[in-house]
Structure 1
Amino acid sequence: MVFKSILRPVFFKVSADDPEKAHHLVMTSLALASKSKVLLSIIEAAMAYKSPALARTVFGVDFPNPVGLAGGFDKNGTALPALAALGFGFIEAGTVTRYQQPGNARPRIFRFSENEALINRMGFPNQGADAIRARLARSPRVKIPIGWSLGKSKVTPQAEAIEDYLYSLRQLDDFSDFFTINVSSPNTPGLRKLQDKEPLDQLLHAIVQETATLASQQGRAQPKAVLVKIAPDLTQEQIDDVIDVCLSRNVNGIIASNTTLSRAGLQRATTEVGGLSGRPLHARACAMVQYICQQVDGKIPVVGVGGIFGPDDAKRMFDAGASLIQVYTSFIYEGPAIAKQINTGLLQYTHDTH
């Protein structure tokens, strides 16, 4: 309540002309907190909700709870300890590209508070795989699973996309519990074409082979899990193609979904370019998860993301068949207790049905 009644209005007011200002303020604070064991203990005591009943194992990874933070919030992995202390069951960091890149021109985030939605056209701003690896090598590991979202560098030609992904994967393999292959952001020119059947097949074949090679070189029994994040704007035929490729290439899971190009559900007309996230995406994301789960028939798990703002939304996504869920936009609108709110509610649902 303190966040929504006091802090959020202040954050939103000081960043009215550019919401990214608020994001940088929060990230700076979290990065500083990540360096203090005392602060981390205080945050964890206040925010983390722990129960063995929430734990689950998915694609060979043990999760303390099923509520994760989606990719895009901590792009460079600078605040992982503090984010873990907030009670998330896992964090997807990134998206990381082979080369450092600034992303698109600001402003590139737009709030639609009346719909609890965002439009972003960030364009994968990040420090690049080399710099991120160097910093992670100097940093303590966090206690929860960390996945790294990998994308294509804007300067990399489409014909060289596979090696671009592979380079980042090699750099971050030591610091990742799973990888998300992001082929669905609408903000990198040509990226979504990698969702087409043939290029996706070639990309995933190379990535799965590389994870197996790395595991063999390091004496690990299991390669790092590989997930594919897809767009909600795909047709049913395109979704079927993605499923076929994922199953044939032994991909470990599908994340549904990324942001949408649709503006359905927004009360305010807008000409802003970018991907829409938040409440307007929820129904489409749930329907997509349900369809994919029906088609894969338990062969691989699905991670549900899109408009999850509380326990009811989370339950809807789990009822659709999701094995894990992720939040992003609700973290901005609901505040730092979002994971605790959802996990508390999920446990209550469990108690109510027994």
Structure 2
Amino acid sequence: MTETFRAILVSRDEAKNQSVDVVEMSPDELMDGDVDIAVEATTVNYKDGLAITGRAPVVRRWPMIPGIDLAGTVLHSTHGEWKAGDKVVLNGWGVGETHYGAFAGRARLNGDWLVPLPKRFTARDAMAIGTAGYTAMLSVMALEDAGMRPESGPVVVTGASGGVGSVAVALLSQLGWTVIASTGRPAEADWLRDLGASEIIDRAELSEKGKPLARERWAAGVDAVGSHTLANVLAATSYGGAVACCGLAQGMDLPGSVAPFILRGISLLGVDSVMAPKPRRLEAWRRLSRDLDPAKLRSIATETDFDGIVDAAEKIVDGGIRGRVVVGMS
């Protein structure tokens, strides 16, 4: 009898109407790859929410199994780096967009896309971090590469109650930064302080059209929001500061001015997590295993199961999810 597993499949009809179904699949139906993995845990990111709800054009091949993150155990490999029994993590590389993703019991992937699961983490730990947390770490590394240090001054984190933002708050505070957390959820203020934020500001202070140059308020920033929020963060960054840009929850536009760049000499640092080269990924996961407080990681994450994925996807797009969602697949 052929082994089967459940998967979430998003499809489109000729009129481009999207449907989401739970289906039974066999390994023969998976796409090409040289490593087969038993998916033990995954997560629901904002991008996954967009893919399942169809509210933005994330999926670029139809039909598609969404899910851009997974952690699991290698079942079979013809790739020289991996063997059966290895514990691995996958983030990005177009998985869940152009290649069948993580919302299934099994995945078949290119071995070059994988990194080893750090010994400190379980599969669920790794998915409590996920692409959001890994992106937060890449953002912190970008600020450090630009010469930013805790003694440079405060750092602002936008979308602080979300996946990227909450991990960024936890990481930066652990590294000694004074963290200003911007959020649209005032009820989460105490939680953000527990993660390490020293000050909470309402996202309304940053989300509307502002001045080309504002009062200097922070030396650095991690922005997962884009649009007017990013423009206002840049306008309030102090001389010689830097802002890491890694998301677009408010929009892809940047309705700002060159004034912060040419009058204050600040830097805007682009952070890409999807196609980041493997050495950068390995360093980010090494840093996460060293710098992320396990107690804070547990505080950031809530758990669901396979049957809860679609509901979580809808909630995350509507702004109804705090922190990270871990999906146990066993």
TM-score by length of 1: 0.28
TM-score by length of 2: 0.29
Higher Cα Rg: structure 1 or 2? 2
More helix by share: 1
